[in-house]
Structures are given as C-alpha cells and as structure tokens.
Amino acid sequence: RLQRITMIAVVVELGNLIIVYSSDHLLSLIGCYMYYMGMNLVMAALMNFIFEYCHCKWPNKTTMLVFYFLLLADNIQYFLNPIFGQAFEVECITVDGFPYYRMIPHIGQIVHRVLDFSILAVAIVILIVRCIQTARIFAERYYAILAVMLVSAVWQTSYMFSRAPIERAMIGYGLFGVLIYYFAIIRRPTQLLDRMLANVASEMPEAMFFFDANERCIWANAPGIRLAHIEGGNFFQANANLLAMFGAHWKPESEWTCQLKLGNEERHFRLQHRFVKDEKGRSAGAFLRIRDFTEEEQRRRRELYNATHDALTGLYTREYLYERIQQKLRENLQMSYQVVFINVKNFKLVNDIFNKEFGDHALRTIAKWVRTDKSENCVYGRIGGDTFGVLVPVEEFNAEQLEEELGRFVVSDGNVTYRLLIHLGVYKIVDKRLDVAVMFDRAHLALSSIRDEYQTHIAYYDNELRSKTLWAQQISAQLYDAIQERHLRPYLQPIVNTEGKVVGCEALARWIHPKEGFLSPAAFIPVFEKNGMIVEVDRHMWRCACEILDSWKGRFDDLFISVNISPKDFFFIDVFAEIKGLVKSYNIDPAKLRIEITETVMMNESDDRMRILSDFRKAGFVVEMDDFGSGYSSLNLLKDMPVDVLKIDMKFLSRSDNENRSQTIVQNIINLSDDLGISALTEGVETEVQYKALAQMRCKLFQGYYFAKPLPQEDFESFCERTSA
Ligand code: C2E
Ligand code: CA
Ligand code: CA
C-alpha cells in the first residue's frame, strides 16, 4: 500500500514541481491537472492504507462505492475543465522577476478541496480513535502517522489561507511520506520489540540478570533484585552477592542446577548463563537466568515418597522394595545375600478378634521390628497385607536370635496383649539376576513348609523343597491326562459290621503313574488341595464311585460307597448340585453314596455349610464326619451338626501314650453319638484286640487293615464274595 501511495505521490510531486518551476502556460496547466487529479488517487490510496494499518474496514459496500464515485466524479470534472472552466484557471503573474502561473480556484476546485480535506479528516479521526482504544505500548505505532497527517493538514490549510503565490505543499508531503515510512514501518516495530522484550524480562517469575562486556551486572528484574539483595537500583552489587551464593557451583555458558542452604532452608536452583555476542562475534555481555524450583522439587520428592512408601508402616511398597533389592544386588556383586519372607500366621484373626485399629497397630509393631538393627546392607519393605520382605547379607542373619525373638513376639496397645505367630521363609540368593518376585516366591514356599507352628519359626528354601516344588508342578500338569487315562482311580476299602460282614466301602484315590508307579494320596492330595485342583480329583472320584455303584446293580445291591469331599471343594463348586446330578444321571439311590466331610469344612461360613449338609440329608444321602478327634473337634459343634455317622480314627487316638485314657475317650464319643442318634464308625482298626474292644463299646461299623487294605475294584468284589460265602 505504502509503495503504491509513494508511486502516485511521485506523479503528484512532479505536478507540483512543474507548477512551481514552469513559466510556460500549457506546462503549468498540465502540472495542475497532474497535481489535483493525482491528489485524488493519493486520497484513495491513503484511505486504503489507513484502513489496513488500523485493521478496520469500510462500514459497508455502498459507502465504499460512494467514496470512489466521488473521487472519480472529481477527476471527470477536471477533464471537463478545459471546456467549461468550472474548476480553475491559471493566470500569469511575476514573482521575483520570473513569470509564474498562479491557479485561480472556481467552484469545482472548492468542491475538490472539501472532498480531499474530508477524506483527510476521516483518516485523522480513525487514527485518533485507534490511539485512544489501543494500549499505550501498541498505540505508539499510530502516533507518528497521526502527527504527520495533522502537520500536513495544517500546512496545507495555512498555505491556502495565506494566499502565497507559490504552492509548495507537496514538497512537505514528500518529506512526510518518507517520515511515515520510517516511523510506521521501520522504527516503531523495532522499538516495540525492545519494549516487549524488556517487559517480558521484567515480568518473568525467574530472576534475570544482564551483564555488560566487563561482566558487571547492569540490570536485573524484580525477582533478580530480591534474590541478589540489590538495593537502590545499584545493580553492581549483584556481582558480589551472586558470587557469594553461586560461586562454588559456577558453570559459565551452560545450564545447571544446584542446591543451597539459605538460612535454615534447603533451596533448589536451576541456572542458565549465556554470553551475548554482537554481529561480529565480539562479547557484548551476558545474561543469567535463575529459577528457584524448591517447591517443585519438594512436591516431586513428596510424590516419590508416597509412591514408594507404604502409608501405614512407612516401609517401602512392594514395587519399590523389589526395585531397591535389584539395585542393591547389582551394586554388591561380591556379597552373598538372602531374601526373607515374613508372614503373620492367621493375621485375619487379629482383625476379627480385636478391631482394625489393633490390626494396624500390630502391623506397625511388626514394621518397627523389621526395621530394628538393620545395617545399610539390608533392604526391607511391606510386600502386602501381613507380609514383609527383607534382603539381608547372609552373615548378618542371626537365626538363633530371631527364633528367640519370634518365640515371644507380642503386640500390646496398653489394654490388650496378643501373641503374634510370625514365620520367616528364607531363600539364599544363588543367581542375582533372578527376578526378585521369584526369590520371594521361593522364600514364601519355604515358609509354607513350616508344619510345627510354635516350635520353629524359620524355614529355608533348599534342594528338597525345590525338588518337591518341581514334582508338584509336574504332577499338576499331568492330572488331566491321568483322569482321562484312568491312571487316577478309586481303591475300595471294606467297611464291616459287628458280624464281620462287608456293608460298604470307602473310595480312596490311587494314581497308578506310568513312570513313577503307585502314588499314594498322601503324596498328591496335599499338592492339589493347595492349588485347588483337588476339585478335579474329587469330581472324578465321585463319578467313578457312581459308575461302580451302577455296575453293582443286581450284584451288590446292599453295598454303599463313601466318597471324600475336600473342604476346598466348597469354595469352587456347588458340591450338593454336582453330586445330586451324578446320582440322578446314574439312577442311583442316594443312600448308597455316602459323603465324608471333615470338621475343617465347618471352620468357614459354618451356617452355609450346615445348610448344605442338611440339603444332602434331606435328599437321602448319608453324611459322615471324617477323622473325628483329629483336629479341633468340638463336641459342642457336634450336637448341631447334621451328620449321620461319626468316623473315629484310631490313628489319632493311639497317639496318646495312655491306652486307658484313649479307651475312655473312644467310649465317651461312642456314648455321646449314641445319645445324639449318630452311629459311630471306627477306622484304622489294625488288630483283633481293637476290634473286640470297640465292639464291646457298642461301635457298629469298622474299617481298617485288620479287615482289608484299600483294594482294586475286582479284588474288593472277590473279597466281598469270599466273606459272604
Ligand atoms: P482318610 O479319608 O482318613 O482315609 C483313610 C486313610 O487311612 C486311607 O489312607 C487308608 O488307606 C488309611 N487306612 C485304612 N485302614 C488303616 C489302618 O488300619 N491303619 C492305618 N494306619 N491306616 C489305614 P490313604 O488312602 O492313604 O488316604 C489318605 C488320605 O487322603 C485320606 O484320609 C483322605 O483324607 C485323602 N484322600 C484319599 N482319597 C481321596 C479323595 O478321593 N478325595 C479327597 N479329597 N481326599 C482323599
Ligand atoms: Ca475319608
Ligand atoms: Ca478318615
């Protein structure tokens, strides 16, 4: 735009020059036409420039068309001037002895002036409005142009009224054009940029310092003034103060962080120092930026702490514990370590008996104990609810002392004191690259091998445990095939009455393993009880029992089979629905399939379990309580228990040293069951003496090696035929 104005202005300027210097009539006339008509073009271009420069638009299209029409009409009237002479004429006068053609305005020329002045006035008004509306720092771009326009308007007007013979207005315009160009396009923006940068620097939250080529501080923003304790605008002070603060950590021409103790506060700073070079590469000074990120750092550390520390005990969380252990092992390749898995036995009980607060208190007490006397070579944390983990160098692990401490571990909150049973599983690390989770798995495995709960508190993962685990994994993988191939099958142990006649049998699982040979359930049942696969074993056994009962129809119609039900089965399947479905599909009298449950079944959700047993009895099954006398046997529980038969195991009673005492117990249990209308069955009968004695105590049913061992189906069948013959 400005270039276009300039081009047109050159034409106008030329016209003006011709008028001023020509002494020829025709040339003067041409000069006047160039001047006045060109002026109209300048006005059009000026209007466009102002609009663009001030970011405004024509209010509507009509106004714009009227504007151009007026300018066009004005130029047309100049074309008509030679014919009608309505605009102006020139008259020759003598100025300083030279002939000069002076313009004498007529009505057309006055209209032209009104038009041009109006346009100039509109442009000035637009600029004034812009100056008022805009923020000062940005309004400056309008000031120069406004000033130039006002001056030229005054110049022109004064010329008009002074009636000076020679019109020199355009010389001024030319000069003004150049000034506008300089102020509006070149000088203003650079100045504006300087201002903006200065503002940005002073308003930055970071401390900023500028140094001259001699590295003396010449300016600092407000945060900088505060940080370097600059007083009274004496920026030179900054050098000494900055040196005192950061001198020890100084790294010119780079970016770095450092930590300072200011007063009694630890503060963190990030510094950036850069030399400023001029265009020839000479040092022109430097700037320094200092950011205090203490709050950020504290937040980061807090977050890190929260993410890596357990809220209740303040120990490491599992993830972080594992990470730290890995790191420790990497850093100390020479030292030999072990991981210790710490678990509270029956911690759930603590929460149940007391309350959650006491439980939390107990966990904090354990955490405190875990922390105690640990060297910096140890790493410890909380693995989960009531389990903790420790990495400890082998030589720092004092098993005797620990056994002693664990033997008398109590929690007390002032009112209550409770003895906690804590077990440790230890895995000595052989391969330090092993996953830490696996190390703890092994330590955990060692822990779960502790049987004698109150005597031993520490167990070690060793080769025996390792091969046991491997074996457990192997047979678990083979179980489905064993069921398919019937390598897993029931052996039947006869149950006899007082006359020695076989009345039924118990189905006991046997695994005739193609490689390992005969496997006793004592070996594999605990494995499957642990991993839940016992359900598959039992389901298979129940089905086999039904098949046998089915095959006995018409041959051994009176015989029953007792099947075992693991307490775990109740967790995984609907035992009642499953067994009921089986007898139905084989069309078997439910009374022929007896179910053996143990007392432990009643340990959880006893109401629910009682209901299931009642369901069994209502459906016509006979429910037997297995291994009575082996565990927690509560006689109290017995009176509410919906069972038909009590199986008393001689094995548990013969543990007692005192023959008479155990005899008395058996006698009493039999009496009690008689009173409750429950029949007693003694298993584990090995001798005739036992048999006779028990018969005397009015026991009705017997099972044991004295009669027969568990037998394969065909052997059992011939055993029955032999004894009944
Ligand atoms: P249990 O149910 O108490 O089975 C009786 C155990 O005593 C059987 O051992 C049996 O062989 C043994 N026994 C029988 N008479 C005598 C005797 O006169 N003296 C001695 N010392 N022992 C005798 P087994 O077959 O080794 O079974 C061990 C345990 O394995 C069973 O104890 C039972 O708890 C479990 N079990 C066996 N089969 C199954 C099954 O199919 N499912 C479930 N869940 N558990 C089973
Ligand atoms: Ca049994
Ligand atoms: Ca038993």
The answer to whether 363 and 313 have CB atoms below 8 angstroms apart is yes
Q: Which atom of ligand 1 is nearest to the CA of 534?
A: 44
Q: Which atom of ligand 1 is nearest to the CA of 703?
A: 15
Q: Is residue 140 predicted with pLDDT exceeding 80?
A: no
Query: Kind of pairing, strands 560-564 and 593-597?
Result: parallel
Percentage of the chain surpassing pLDDT 70? 93
Q: Helix H segments across 513-627?
A: 521-531, 534-551, 569-572, 575-585, 606-618
Q: Rounded to whole angstroms, how far apart are CA atoms 284 and 300?
A: 38
Ligand nearest to the CA of 685: 1
Q: How far is the CA of 352 from the centre of ligand 3 (A)?
A: 31
Helix, strand or coil for residue 34?
A: helix
Q: How far is the CA of 670 from the centre of ligand 1 (A)?
A: 22
pLDDT digits (tens, 9 = 90+) for 213-247: 888 898 899 999 999 999 888 888 889 899 888 98
Average pLDDT score over the chain: 88
Contacts by 710-713, CB closer than 8 A, 24 or more apart = 710/491, 710/492, 710/493, 710/506, 710/508, 710/510, 711/491, 711/492, 711/493, 711/494, 712/491, 712/492, 713/490, 713/492, 713/548
Q: Which atom of ligand 1 is nearest to the CA of 529?
A: 44
Predicted local confidence at residue 460, as pLDDT: 94
Q: Six-digit token pair at 309?
A: 């520390």
Full DSSP string of 320-375: HHHHHHHHHHHH-SSS-EEEEEEEETTHHHHHHHS-HHHHHHHHHHHHHHHHTT--
Atom 13, ligand 1: which residue's CA is nearest? 684
Atom 17, ligand 1: which residue's CA is nearest? 684
For residue 497, how far is the Cα from the chain centroid?
Answer: 67
Q: Which atom of ligand 1 is nearest to the CA of 509?
A: 38
Q: Could you tell me the CA-to-CA distances from 576 to 388, 507, 637 in Å, in that order?
A: 40, 18, 21
Q: Which atom of ligand 1 is nearest to the CA of 491?
A: 25
* pTM for this model (two decimals): 0.56
Classify each residue of 507-533 as buried b or exposed e, where b means 16 or more C-beta atoms within 10 Å of its C-beta.
bbbbbbeeeeeebebeebbebbbeeeb
Q: Six-digit token pair at 445?
A: 């495995």
Mean pLDDT across 340-358: 88
Lowest-pLDDT choice from 51-60, 394-403, 531-540, 657-666 = 657-666
Q: Which atom of ligand 1 is nearest to the CA of 490?
A: 41
pLDDT digits (tens, 9 = 90+) for 564-600: 999 999 999 999 999 999 999 999 999 999 999 988 8
Q: Six-digit token pair at 488?
A: 């897993």
Q: Is residue 604 predicted with pLDDT exceeding 80?
A: no
Ligand nearest to the CA of 628: 3
Which of 30-34, 117-121, 144-148, 699-703 has the largest mean confidence? 699-703
Burial class, 180, CB count within 10 angstroms (exposed 0-12 / middle 13-18 / buried 19+):
buried
Q: Rounded to whole angstroms, how far apart are CA atoms 725 and 91?
A: 165
Q: How far is the CA of 611 from the centre of ligand 2 (A)?
A: 21
Query: 312 falls in which pLDDT band (50, 70, 90)?
Result: very high
- Total length of the chain: 725
Q: Rounded to whole angstroms, how far apart are CA atoms 146 and 125?
A: 9
Q: How far is the CA of 506 from the centre of ligand 1 (A)?
A: 9
Residue of 564, 691, 694 best suited for mutating to test ligand 1, as the one with most atoms within 8 Å of CB:
564
Lowest-pLDDT choice from 48-62, 176-190, 369-383, 494-508 = 176-190
The answer to whether 568 and 514 have CB atoms below 8 angstroms apart is no
Pick the closest to residue 171 from 26, 15, 338 (CA basis): 15
Query: 189 falls in which pLDDT band (50, 70, 90)?
Result: low
Query: 17 falls in which pLDDT band (50, 70, 90)?
Result: confident
Predicted local confidence at residue 569, as pLDDT: 95
Full DSSP string of 124-142: HHHHHHHHHHS-HHHHHHH
Q: Rounded to whole angstroms, how far apart are CA atoms 426 and 337?
A: 10
Residue of 491, 496, 508, 518 best suited for mutating to test ligand 1, as the one with most atoms within 8 Å of CB:
508
Q: How far is the CA of 564 from the centre of ligand 2 (A)?
A: 5
pLDDT digits (tens, 9 = 90+) for 676-715: 889 999 999 999 999 999 999 999 999 999 999 999 999 9
Q: Is residue 538 predicted with pLDDT exceeding 90?
A: yes
Atom 45, ligand 1: which residue's CA is nearest? 564
The answer to whether 142 and 194 have CB atoms below 8 angstroms apart is no
Predicted local confidence at residue 167, as pLDDT: 63
Pick the closest to residue 236 from 259, 220, 250 (CA basis): 220
316 CB-near residues (< 8 Å, 6+ apart): 308, 309, 310, 324, 379, 380, 381, 382
Q: How far is the CA of 624 from the centre of ligand 2 (A)?
A: 9
Atom 14, ligand 1: which residue's CA is nearest? 704
Pocket of ligand 1 from Cβ distances under 6 Å: 493, 508-509, 520-522, 525, 534, 537-538, 541, 564, 566, 626-627, 651, 683-686, 704-705, 710
Q: How far is the CA of 580 from the centre of ligand 3 (A)?
A: 23
Q: How far is the CA of 116 from the centre of ligand 1 (A)?
A: 121
Query: 540 falls in which pLDDT band (50, 70, 90)?
Result: very high
Q: Which atom of ligand 1 is nearest to the CA of 649?
A: 3
Predicted local confidence at residue 162, as pLDDT: 73
Pick the closest to residue 531 from 598, 477, 465, 588 (CA basis): 477
Q: How far is the CA of 616 from the centre of ligand 3 (A)?
A: 20
Residue of 486, 525, 594, 654 best suited for mutating to test ligand 1, as the one with most atoms within 8 Å of CB:
525
Q: How far is the CA of 576 from the centre of ligand 3 (A)?
A: 21
